[in-house]
Amino acid sequence: MADWQEITGGITAPRGYQAAGITAGLKPSGLPDLALIFSEVEAIAAGVFTTSQVKAACVEYCRQRLQAKQSARAILCNAGQANAATGSQGYLDTLESALAIAQALNISSESVLLASTGVIGQRIKMDALRSGIPKVVAALSETGSDAAAGAIITTDLVTKSIALETTIGDRPVRIGGIAKGSGMIHPNMATMLAFVTCDAVVSPHLWQQMLARAADRSFNSITVDGDTSTNDSLIALANGQSRTPAIIEWGAEAEKLEAMLTAVCQHLAKAIARDGEGATCLIEVEVTGAHEELSARQIAKTIAGSSLVKSAIFGRDPNWGRIAAAAGRAGVPFEQENLQIKLGNFLMLENGQPLQFDRGAASAYLKKAATGTYLQQDTVLISVNVGNGHGVGKAWGCDLSYDYVKINAEYTT
Task: Tell me the torsion sign for CA atoms 75, 77, 82, 86.
Answer: negative
Q: Which of 114, 141, 143, 109 is nearest to 129 (CA)?
A: 114
Q: What is the CA radius of gyration of the chain?
A: 21
3-class DSSP state for residue 95?
helix
Which residue among 50, 86, 117, 191 is the active-site one?
191
Rounded CA-CA distance 205/226 in Å is 31
Which residues are CB-contacts of 245 (< 8 A; sequence separation ≥ 6)?
A: 168, 169, 201, 253
The yes-or-no answer on residue 191 being catalytic is yes
Strand partners, 354: 349
3-class DSSP state for residue 36?
strand
Rounded to a whole number of angstroms, the distance between the first and last alpha carbons of the chain is 49
Helix (H) and strand (E) counts in the chain: 11, 15
Please, how many CA atoms are within 13 Å of residue 163, restricted to the half-sphere of its CB?
Answer: 21
Q: Which of 279, 303, 290, 292 is nearest to 396 (CA)?
A: 303
Beta strand residue intervals within 254-364, DSSP E? 282-290, 340-343, 346-350, 353-354
Task: Tell me the torsion sign for CA atoms 316, 320, 321, 322.
Answer: positive
Task: Tell me the torsion sign for CA atoms 240, 164, 252, 269.
Answer: negative
Rounded CA-CA distance 188/68 in Å is 24
Active site positions, annotated? 191
